[in-house]
Chains A and B, each alone.
Chain A
């Protein structure tokens, strides 16, 4: 048993999970509170990564790049909400889907126009680029640990926001009864905008954090958004707790599955069969998980009860 490999993979799984949580948490709020299907969420993830890349290059500092890219992404989020999203809350889901699909095209091409077709690299400062030891002989990349810690901190912050602040209370109330909340004098329009921007910033943050590892590239959001959807469906729409648990679950299962499934298969089928089938099955694992959970609970683990 290669403990180092196992630990590294567990960490990778956790890291993927945390990133998925950042993406999914904003999205599940947007779905739950505004009943708005935002396909372009992945574009905000991409925008965050690109902003961070450019700012890091200009300012020669990853920290500053990260810190300044956050408000920059927020601005993009505000623009999107004002110009497109705001007019669609009253429409049906089909309209949301089509309009945000159009937004993806717009973002992908604009990004290509501004940054060119190649990806953008984000160099990490030396101290983040190394390894850190986790007790004994196990060494893991520092940056992965940093991502996990940052993600947990943000998750905690989100938890405090939603459960302890007035804004959070309005958000939770809005999630269960929009009309009542606006009847109570809360500015629903402002609330929606705030939720959307929070979601945008979280998505951007996820993009910024992954970019040093994978590069900021065009269309990077389009594939991860699907996984974020799977997370939300499993966790239940509108539930941040659900998003967290589902994200970690999906991250771990996906990563561990890809690493160890062929070893598992080899235990009861020939090496050759294992090698051909394992990659395909491990690619399908999280979807099978989703199907199984939905079969038992159609609204997800923590979704709105009854339908």
Chain B
């Protein structure tokens, strides 16, 4: 086996820890860690999907949490009508996410810079307000689901450990998928188009279309994460899509370093751990969080990524 860099060891370590976590939980009886880890893994999937457009594509979307919400409601609304079939629910989650990403992408990807950020934010809030206004599905108060997605006899998501492993395996799958995408011809175009729009167009690439496809893929993956989230929390509310949630996702990606595949996972982990620890301490922990965020931006650009040393594979 090739010798690993620091980065390699950390990545391996985290993956092994996550894989063995349920064992640890069953030995120590601390259910709480399973809950924490499930949430971590799900948000890690969302963060990794965001990194595809934010890190590799430099599209600063401030509305990515919308897909978490869409995915969650894709589980919640059918459940409300007593449709518990997981395949249908996930199909809806991904399908609606794709449609939403495509339609909003058509509009926002024609804009640049500040406009793009504001428009993505606005579209996610549009979905937020739409769901708040739909009394039938709980509106502001949200929706509770009693039964998790059903996938036939061999996969019982009611078992928390099973749900966790589904999420963990999904994370591995998403990571692998993104890795292949990034190195493929498509990925090359997306990365090339980052700061060099004019250059890419002069080579013959319709950058708008490529970006749109990338944007849709990212949305679909996050919609899937949303479906997992809906199953996990059993309580689905528009809050999930608030723009501040999108901000948290961006924070996770940046914290972990935007130029790496695994960075967002580390970022999500750090974010959630910090949140857990700090909120236990002090009622006003968000003050520390906010200051920490400001300091990270001012001084530690590059995130954990740069602390772990240069990433040889981009």
Residues of A within 8 A of B (CB): 31, 35, 37, 39, 84, 87-88, 91, 93-95, 97-99, 101-106, 108-110, 112-113, 222, 226, 229-230, 232-233, 237, 276, 279-280, 282-284, 287-288, 290-291, 294-295, 298-300, 303, 307
Contact = CB atoms under 8 A, between A and B. Distances in A.
Contact of B60 (A97, A105, A106, A282): A97
Given A237-B115, A283-B129, A106 B287 contact: yes
Contacts of B241: none
Nearest to B60: A94
Contacts of B20: none
B290 to A, nearest CB: 3
A162 B63 CA distance: 34
Contacts of B294: 84, 99, 102-103, 106
B153 interface: no
Nearest to A101: B247
A87 B298 CA distance: 8
B267 to A, nearest CB: 12
B290 A106 contact: yes
Interface of B: 54, 60, 62, 104, 106-108, 110-115, 117-119, 121-123, 125-126, 129-136, 243-244, 247, 250-251, 254, 284, 286-287, 289-294, 296-298, 301
Chain B residues touching A, majority SS: helix
B119 A102 contact: no
Contacts of B125: 226, 287
A106 B119 CA distance: 25
Contacts of B121: 226, 229
A109 B294 CA distance: 15
B103 to A, nearest CB: 8
Contact of A101 (B54, B118, B251): B251
B117 A284 contact: no
Given A95-B301, A284-B126, 8 more contacts: A98-B254, A99-B297, A104-B244, A106-B290, A113-B287, A226-B125, A237-B115, A283-B130
Contact of A229 (B122, B133, B293): B122
A226 B243 contact: yes
B290 A103 contact: yes
A112 B119 contact: no
Contacts of A108: 286
A35 B251 CA distance: 21
Contact of A226 (B111, B122, B250): B122
Given A98-B250, A280-B130, A93 B113 contact: yes
Contact of A284 (B129, B284, B296): B129
Contacts of A282: 133
A31 to B, nearest CB: 5
A103 B247 CA distance: 12
A287 to B, nearest CB: 4
B117 A106 contact: no
Contacts of B110: 294, 298
Which of A232, A290, A303 has its CB near the most chain B CB atoms (within 10 A)?
A290
Complex A-B, nearest 4 residue pairs according to Cβ-Cβ distance, in ascending order: A105-B290, A102-B293, A287-B126, A283-B129
B31 to A, nearest CB: 30
Contacts of A280: 129-131, 133-134
Nearest to B111: A298
Which of A226, A230, A303 has its CB near the most chain B CB atoms (within 10 A)?
A226
Nearest to A287: B126
A274 B92 CA distance: 25
Contacts of B293: 98-99, 101-102, 105
Contacts of B244: 101, 104, 222
Contact of B134 (A35, A39, A95, A276): A276
A284 B251 CA distance: 27
B133 A95 contact: no
B129 A105 contact: no
B291 A102 contact: yes
Contacts of B112: 307
